[in-house]
Structures are given as C-alpha cells and as structure tokens.
Amino acid sequence: MTRVTSFNLFQCSECGQRHVLPNYGSVSGYIPRDFNVSSDSLRVCQRCSSKKPLRNFIPLGVIYKPERDSTPKFLRKIRKILDKNYKGEEPYPSELYPDLDIKPFDAAEYFPPSVMKYYETYGGYPNWYVELRAAQIKER
C-alpha cells in the first residue's frame, strides 16, 4: 500500500504562500508522481504561479499526519463542551495548505470530481482553496 506519512512544508520566496509536499513512508503498486521529488523538479506556486525548481522554495520543516480522533463525529461537539482538554480532530495538512503542484492552481481542476462533489454537498472547502479560488475569479 502506498502511504503518506508526513508532509514537507515549503514557502514561495515571492509571495509567501505555504504549500505541502507529501512524504511517502512505503510505496507499492502505483508510484505517485510526488514520490522522491528532486530539488531540480519544477514546481508552481499555487498563489502567484511563479514556476521554479523545488530548491528555490523555502523549506519550513515537516508536518506529521495528525492522530485520528477516535471520538465518534456526533459526540465531538458535546465532548468539546464537557472536556476542556479536548481540542477536536486536528486538521489534515492538505486542509491547511495547497499541494506544491507542477501546474498553476485551477479551482475547477484542483480536486477530483468525487471530492468536489463531497465539498459541494457537505461544505467545508479548505480556507486556502476558497481564497485562491476567489483570487482566480478576480483575475478573469
């Protein structure tokens, strides 16, 4: 099974946008296109569309995947009220930052159709997505 274990955080040297790049702990079956990215690999900032080799992005360290919250979803709100130490489930790194992609951000194509459908039905688009999509609309 191909598994993401952590993410490297990279910041655009031009506009300051932060991005994540997944690290794969184990790979079998298909090889993801982000597997073993070299520092020469060209990447595109999802905010300002500047295209440059990975080494020209500023590395900010590693974010680990959050622990799964074992509290059933319907109990989380109640638990937050009753348990002062309970913070709720931590957001997944890709909910906090866009992927450091090989092509410029396109709101219509960023998520696969099934994921789009989920967000359209249940809401909860990541904040960065809403922001970048608004900027993209303004540009046109």
Tell me the three state secondary structure of residue 82: helix
Q: Would you say 19 or 93 has its CB closer to Zn ion?
A: 19
CA 55, chain centre distance (Å) = 19
Question: Left, alpha or beta for 70 (phi > 0: left; psi -120 to 50: alpha)?
Answer: alpha
Which residues are registered as beta bridge partners of 42?
53
CA 138 to chain centre: 23
45 near Zn ion, judged by CB under 5 A: yes
Scan residues 17-36 and list those touching Zn ion (CB under 5 A): 17
- Nearer residue to Zn ion within complex by CB, 13 or 39: 13
What does the per-residue mask of binding to Zn ion show for 85-114, with x meaning CB under 5 A? ------------------------------
Q: Which stretch binds Zn ion (CB under 5 A): 14-22, 57-65, 66-74, 96-104?
A: 14-22
- Choose the binding region for Zn ion from 34-42, 46-54, 62-70, 119-127 (rule: CB under 5 A): 46-54
> Residue 98 has which token pair?
């866009």
